[in-house]
Amino acid sequence: MTEHESIFDGVTSREVSKVAALDIGSNSFHLVVARIVADSVQILHRVKQKVRLADGLDDDDILSDEAIARGLSMLKVIAESLKGFEPDSVRIVATHTLRKARNARHFIKAAKEVLPYPIEVISGVEEARLIYSGVAHTNHADGQQLVVDIGGGSTEFVIGKGFTPLLCRSLQMGCVSYTQRFFSTGE
């Protein structure tokens, strides 16, 4: 994928009838199933569930068995929505928690038993680029804009113009990770 492509660029309605994108995030898992019609994306189905994967990261960056089980349980639900999809019409990305977890391979190996599609652990910059692409393609503005996405484990900042991201940054500060770090007692 080039710097300016969206997750669905290059897909035409003649090639596939439906496409799916799954974000394995630090706080929630988000699946979008869509159809490409006349170069536009029509959302057919969404599943978004809070999983709090980042809540299971310990001080040594090991993902707990409980967090892994929560994630796999949600992936089983998502697998039902993906039945019948061709591998090239599904993209699954994992973000901050699986970038950080020293045992991320354990989670991904177990996830492959549930989902027959590759899981890509993306960089923070790629996460920022994809976020900007999604915003630019759904809320198009010609002028320069700032997009901020506060996730469970990281926050992405992107300055862009039109469909082009000009500056992408990802910081390791998210709502789950900072709640754990600074408000672990609930105060």
- Write down the pLDDT at residue 1: 43
- Taking the C-alpha atoms of residue 119 and residue 104, their distance in angstroms, rounded to an integer, is 11
pLDDT higher at 186 or 96: 96
Which residues, at least 6 apart from 107, have a Cβ–Cβ distance to it below 8 Å? Answer: 63, 68, 71, 72, 98, 101
Placement of tokens 């672990």 in the chain: 184
Averaged pLDDT of the chain: 89
- Taking the C-alpha atoms of residue 145 and residue 38, their distance in angstroms, rounded to an integer, is 27
Q: Which domains does the chain have, with CATH numbers?
A: 19-182 (3.30.420.40)
- Taking the C-alpha atoms of residue 161 and residue 146, their distance in angstroms, rounded to an integer, is 9
Tokens of 142: 């010609």
The pTM (predicted TM-score) of the whole model is 0.85
- Write down the pLDDT at residue 140: 75
Instruction: Provide, rounded to the nearest whole percent, the portion of the chain with pLDDT above 90.
Output: 70
- For the stretch 127-153, pLDDT in tens is 999 999 989 888 878 889 999 999 999
- Taking the C-alpha atoms of residue 44 and residue 51, their distance in angstroms, rounded to an integer, is 23
Per-residue confidence band for 183, with pLDDT thresholds at 50, 70 and 90: confident
